[in-house]
Amino acid sequence: MLRFYSASNGVVNSEKAMYNCLELALAERGEAVYQQELLIVIHTTIGHDFTALLSAAHQRCPQATVVGCTCAGVIGIEGANENMRALGIMVAEAEKKGEFGIAYCDNIRGYNSYQKAREMAETLKAETPGVNMVHILASGIDIAADRALEGVADVFGNEIPVFGGTSSDNMRAISTYQFVNCQILERGAIMIGYADPSLKVEMGVHHGSVPVGRPLTVTRSRANQVFELDGQPAWSLLMEKLSLPENSPPGPCIPVAGLAELLPDEYHQTYDNQHILRVIVKVDEEDKSFYLPVDCSEGTRLWLTQRDENLIFSGLERMIQLLSERIEGQETVAVFHTDCAARGRAMFNKIVKDEIIEKMQSPLMKGRRLPWLGMYGFGEFTKLNGKNLFHNYTTSIYALVRRSTHVKE
C-alpha cells in the first residue's frame, strides 16, 4: 500500500531546499523512513542547481528512486511558487517492493514519440507487474504526445489511466529537463507505474478559453509539424494575426498564441468545452512552421483563443464538483496536478492565481494536509470519457483515491 507525503518551498539554496522539503514532507514519519525504498517525485523551476537537488535527495534518502522534471512553477499545499528557484516534492512510501516502478528514455521527439513511449511502457510492464495507472513526465518541447499515448495504449491497453504532464522551463520554451536518480536529461521522458491495487486515480480537467474570430485552416502539415495555415507560412500568419513581430520566439507568445481545435462531440461534457487547446512551443526559424504537441492533419481548423475569466472560475467549480462527486465517501491519499504554464503569472496576478488554487485545494483537502504536488508545465495528460488525451492550457487534477466498497455509481 502506497502512502504519500508532499512539501514545497522557495528556498534558493538547492541543497537546503531539498533537505527542507524532505523534512517537511516526512516530519510525521520519523528518521527510519529516510532509509526506506521511497519514490521521490520532484518538480523544480529552472533556476535550481539540479545536481545539488538530486545529490541532496540521495544523500538524505539513499534507497530512494528519484524522478522529476522542470516546470514554470510549483504548486503545493503551501501554494504556487513561480520563482526561478522553487521546489516541490511528492514522496511515496511503499509498504512492500514492487508497488511502483519507473521507466525512462532520452531524446524523445515528435517522430519517435510512439516508439519511445512503447519501449518505456514495455519495460514498466515487464519490471513492475500490476501497474494500474501511469504517470508521465516528459519533455515538453517537441514531443508528439498523442503518439506517445498510443505507444502506452498498445502495451497497457486503452483502459489504463495515464496522467501527468510535459515539463517546461520558465516559459521561454528553450529547454526542459527531466531527472532520473542522478541523471539529468534534456529531452527525456519518464513513466512511473503505480502498482498498488488499493489505489485508483480520478481526474478532472478544464480550461477557460474561448475561440475567437474565424478559424485558420491547416493547409500543409506533416505529423505534428504545421507548415502552412490558410496557404501561408504558419508562424508568420499567426504572428500577423496577433500583431506580433514575425520573428517572435514561441515562449513569450504562449499566453496569447494558444490554438483551439474542435473536440469530437463525445468529449464535450467531460471536457466542459467544445474545443481542445494546443500550445506552440517550437518554431522552425527557416520555414516558419511550428510544432504542436499532437499530430495535426491538413484540413484541421484552428482558432485563436481568448481567456474568459468567468469561464475559468465557473469551469473550475464544475470540475471540482464533478471530481468531488466521484470521490465522495472515499479516501483521497494524494493529488498530482498539472497546470498550463500560461495559467500562472503569465496570465493571472497573484491574487487570482491564489484564488484559483484555493478553489481547487480546499474542497479536496477538507481541512487536512492532503499531499499535493503540482506544476505549471507545457501540457497535460488526462483520461477523458475513457480515452487518454493530451491537451494544453488546462488545469488537470489527478486525485489518487483509496478504493472503497462504497464507490458511488
Partner 1 sequence: MGAQKSPARKPSYEELETWCRELQSKVTKGIVLQQELISIKDELDQELNRFRLIQEFGEVGMFRESIRDFATIATEYFIQAFEQPHCLLSEYRPEDDRLFVLSTFGFSGAEAPSSFEISPSHFRGREGFLLSQRPTLQQQLSGLCLEDALIAPLFAPDGAFLGVVACGQKLEDQRFYNPIDPKDRYAFTVMATKVGYLLHNFRVNEQLKKEIEERKKVEKMLESKAEDLLRSNAELEQFAYVVSHDLKAPLRNAMGFARLLKAKHQEGLPSQAQGFLNVIWQELNRFSTIIDDLLAYARLSSSQLSTEALPLVDLNQVVERVIARNSFTIEQRKASIHCQPLPTLPAHTAQMEQLFQNLILNAIKFTPNERTPEIHILVRPEGASYCFSIQDNGIGIDKESQNQIFGLFQRLHASNHYEGNGLGLSICKKIVEQHKGKIWAQSQGKGKGAVFSFILPGK
Residues that bind partner 1 (CB under 8 A): 10-13, 46-47, 49, 83-85, 169-170, 172, 174-175, 212-214, 241-244, 255-256, 304, 306-307, 345-350
> Cβ contacts of residue 367 below 8 Å, gap of 6+?
none
Q: Whole-angstrom Cα distance, residue 261 to residue 238?
A: 15
Q: Considering the complex, what minimum distance in angstroms separates the CB of residue 243 from partner 1? A: 6
For residues 243 and 310, which CB has a smaller minimum distance to partner 1 in the complex? Answer: 243
Q: Considering only CA atoms, which of 226, 314, 255, 198 is closest in space to residue 72? A: 255
Task: Please tell me the distance from the alpha carbon of residue 218 to that of residue 177, in angstroms, as a whole number.
Answer: 31
Q: What's the closest the beta carbon of residue 257 comes to partner 1, in angstroms?
A: 9
Specify whether the CB–CB gap between 10 and 85 falls below 8 A: yes
Angstrom distances, CA of residue 120 to CA of 152, 262, 336: 8, 31, 21
Rounded to the nearest whole angstrom, what is the least distance from the CB of residue 82 to partner 1 in the complex? 9
The residue among 195 and 238 lying less far from partner 1, judged by its C-beta, is 238
Smallest gap, in angstroms, from Cβ of residue 283 to partner 1? 17
Distance in Å, CB of 249 to partner 1, minimum: 12
Q: Which is nearer to partner 1, 9 or 128 (CB)?
A: 9
Closer residue to partner 1 in complex, CB, 245/299: 245
Q: Residue 375, Cβ neighbours under 10 Å: how many?
A: 34
The CB density around residue 12, as the number of other CB atoms within 10 Å, is: 15
- Contact between 92 and 2 (Cβ < 8 Å): yes
* Number of DSSP helices (H) and strands (E) in the chain, helices first: 9, 26
User: To the nearest whole angstrom, how small is the minimum distance from the Cβ of residue 164 to partner 1?
Assistant: 23
Q: Which is nearer to partner 1, 350 or 366 (CB)?
A: 350
**Nearer Cβ to partner 1 (215/223):** 215
Q: Which 8-state DSSP code applies to residue 298?
A: T
What is the dihedral sign for C-alpha 80, 82, 87, 93? positive
Q: Which is nearer to partner 1, 38 or 216 (CB)?
A: 216
Q: Which is nearer to partner 1, 46 or 131 (CB)?
A: 46
Q: How far is the CB of 379 from partner 1 (least distance, A)?
A: 19
Q: Which three cell numbers stand for residue 144?
A: 508528439
Q: Are 205 and 384 in contact (CB under 8 A)?
A: yes
Question: For residue 405, what are the contacts with CB-CB under 8 A and spacing of at least 6?
Answer: none
Min. distance of Cβ 167 from partner 1 in angstroms? 13
Asked whether the beta carbons of 152 and 162 are under 8 A apart, the reply is yes
